[in-house]
Amino acid sequence: KVIAKKLANRATLGDLFLIKGELGAGKTTFTRFFIHSLFIKNSVKTPNTIKSPSFPILINYSLANFEIFHYDLYRLNSYIELVELNIIENIQENITLIEWPEIILRYNQLDKFFFINMKIINSNKREIEIKHTHIKDFDNDF
């Protein structure tokens, strides 16, 4: 919760967050805290629920001057499915979070993004590694 809040408070328009981890690692929980923190940061009433986009693939949240795009690409199997989502176009002037980003990493040449890797240590503990493609030693800030 603390890391998601810190990262959300530093987020700016155009930021892309790729969140990787095995089932149960906490990707959606992390994302819920992140989105909740963005609503608070922007003084907007938080949604009653922040759901996982596992079945719809995308859920977007509108704030005053931008949107938060929350993708779950777990069920995607092809480049064509990825292209149909228009992810690259949505990144501009918004904040985008993508769970299960392996397919987008495989098929796209993304220029700039945060990479969050979550590992299960035990049932109560997770390891979170945060990197950025253009900021060296970014994870040292946490």
The answer to whether 57 touches 72, Cβ cutoff 8 Å, is yes
Residue 138 is predicted with a pLDDT of: 57
pLDDT of residue 91: 85
Task: Give whole-number Cα distances, 54 to 57, 58, 95, 130, in Å.
Answer: 5, 8, 19, 23
pTM to 2 decimal places = 0.88
DSSP 57: S
Q: In the numeric block, which tokens belong to residue 102? A: 């392996």
Quick one: three-class SS letters along 65-134?
CCEEEEEECCCCCCHHHHHHCCHHHHHCCCEEEEECCHHHHHHCCCCCCEEEEEEEEECCEEEEEEEECC
Report the chain (142 residues): mean pLDDT per 10 consecutive residues: 91 94 92 94 83 86 91 90 84 92 84 92 91 71 55
For residue 132, what are its two tokens?
A: 């950025």
pLDDT at site 22: 93
